Structure 1
Amino acid sequence: MAKLYYRFGQMNASKSIQLLTVAHNYEEQGKKVTLFTPAIDTRFGHGKIASRVGIQKDAIEVDDDTNLFEEVKQTLPDCVLVDEVQFLRERHIQQLAKVVDELNTPVIMYGLLKDYRNEFFEGSRAAVLWADQIEEIKTICAHPDCNRKATMILKIKDGVPVYSGEQIEVGGNDLYRSVCRRHYFHPDVTRLF
């Protein structure tokens, strides 16, 4: 029986490489996979899912008007994989649940849980509410002297920690670091960047 999975983690927790590995495993067995990525995330190009280790695959871009159920219904893959699910809308997550329930196709969503303000994204909140199974992908604090589990995302602009503002500003290690709660509130910025 198919399920809707939500695999979340902080930045640099290996979410995208795990997604690409799952896609490879399906395709190596001759099975068809459909990949989705939010149109807003163009760090590696349009319609690309990429890992920081250099591996990438093409994906269908999702914008506000995309109906994921209809996209999947046209191709009937063996599995659906979604990267950066935090940037999707709740209706997209509901469409993915419909893919599982009506097409009996497993869907695995990967993404962040919380933003740099320690608040849910719309897509991650919906993923928590609608998923059949939730799994955490863990990583450690980016502070060089810390081995605690990273549970927060620290945003740094012009050498200063930022705790408020617009929720979405797409960026990578140039803007964000995954840290433990202690280093979120007491960052040593000079050692993190």
Structure 2
Amino acid sequence: MAKLYFRYGTMNSGKSIEVLRVAHNYEEQGKKVLLFTPAVDNRDGVGVVASRIGMQKDGIVVDDSLDMVGMAAAERPNCILIDEAQFLNKQQVLQLTEIADTLGIPVIAYGLRADFLGQLFEGSYHLFALADKIEEIKTVCWYCDRKATMNMRLADGKPVFEGAQIQIGGNESYLPVCRKCYSMQKSQTQPHHE
């Protein structure tokens, strides 16, 4: 039975490298992959899945008008991969469940667990609720050797703890950090009340 997988990690944990590696493995065996990426992720151009180490591949842009189920039914790929799955909405995640359940095509979604304030993204929330298998992609805190579990947003190189949930960016905008270092940075930037 095909499953819906959610593989999550912080910024800089290698999610996009993993997406590209899995796509390559299928294609090297002559198998077909549909690679989806949300329209909002325009860091390297809309529809481009790119890793920080320079690998990239064109993907199919996911927006509100895309019928992923219809496309999967017509194309009959061996696997569906989604990069930046945290940006999906509830209906798009439900389409992924339908692809796995009714078309029998495995779906592997990669994304962030939470935003820079520790709040779940809509896509992540529904993937945690509906995925058959949830796997963490781990990386190390920018400041210490603990496992990174948070994404800290930067503005002009300094941590910030307010702003819109979605702000597209890379290492210049976000660091992977553990909860302890996140809390320490936050307490140093917040005004202290006496």
Q: TM-score range by the shorter chain?
A: over 0.9
Identity, in percent, stands at: 53
Alpha-carbon separation, structure 2, partners of 1:167 and 1:66? 23
Could you say which residue in structure 2 is the equivalent of 1:68?
68
Stretch moving more, 153-162 or 78-87 = 153-162
Could you say which residue in structure 1 is the equivalent of 2:192?
none
Describe the superposition over 1:55-99 as per-residue Cα deviations: whole angstroms up to 9, x where unpaired. Answer: 111100011222211121121100000000001101101000000
Q: In structure 1, which of residues 154, 167, 170 is the aligned counterpart of residue 168 of structure 2? A: 170
Structure 2: state its 5+ residue gaps: 187-194
Could you say which residue in structure 2 is the equivalent of 1:161?
159
SS of equivalent residue, structure 2 residue 125: helix
Structure 1: state its 5+ residue gaps: 189-193
Could you say which residue in structure 1 is the equivalent of 2:102?
102
Following superposition, the deviation at residue 164 of structure 1 comes to: 2.3
8 Å contact 2:157–2:172 — kept in the other structure?
Answer: no
8 Å contact 2:39–2:46 — kept in the other structure?
Answer: yes
Following superposition, the deviation at residue 159 of structure 1 comes to: 4.1
Following superposition, the deviation at residue 160 of structure 1 comes to: 3.6
Could you say which residue in structure 1 is the equivalent of 2:24?
24
RMSD: 1.2
Alpha-carbon separation, structure 2, partners of 1:64 and 1:176? 27
Could you say which residue in structure 1 is the equivalent of 2:189?
none
Matched residue type, 1:100? A
Alpha-carbon separation, structure 2, partners of 1:164 and 1:103? 42
Could you say which residue in structure 2 is the equivalent of 1:111?
111
Alpha-carbon separation, structure 1, partners of 2:26 and 2:157? 43
Describe the superposition over 1:78-135 as per-residue Cα deviations: whole angstroms up to 9, x where unpaired. Answer: 0000000001101101000000011100000000000001000000001101100000
Could you say which residue in structure 2 is the equivalent of 1:123?
123
TM-score (norm 1): 0.93
Alpha-carbon separation, structure 1, partners of 2:110 and 2:150? 17
Alpha-carbon separation, structure 2, partners of 1:172 and 1:105? 31
Matched residue type, 1:134? I
TM-score (norm 2): 0.93
Following superposition, the deviation at residue 187 of structure 1 comes to: 2.7
Could you say which residue in structure 1 is the equivalent of 2:53?
53
Q: In structure 1, which of residues 146, 149, 156 is the aligned counterpart of residue 147 of structure 2? A: 149
Q: In structure 2, which of residues 181, 184, 187 is the aligned counterpart of residue 183 of structure 1? A: 181
Describe the superposition over 1:7-61 as per-residue Cα deviations: whole angstroms up to 9, x where unpaired. Answer: 0000111111111111111111110000000111111112111111111111000
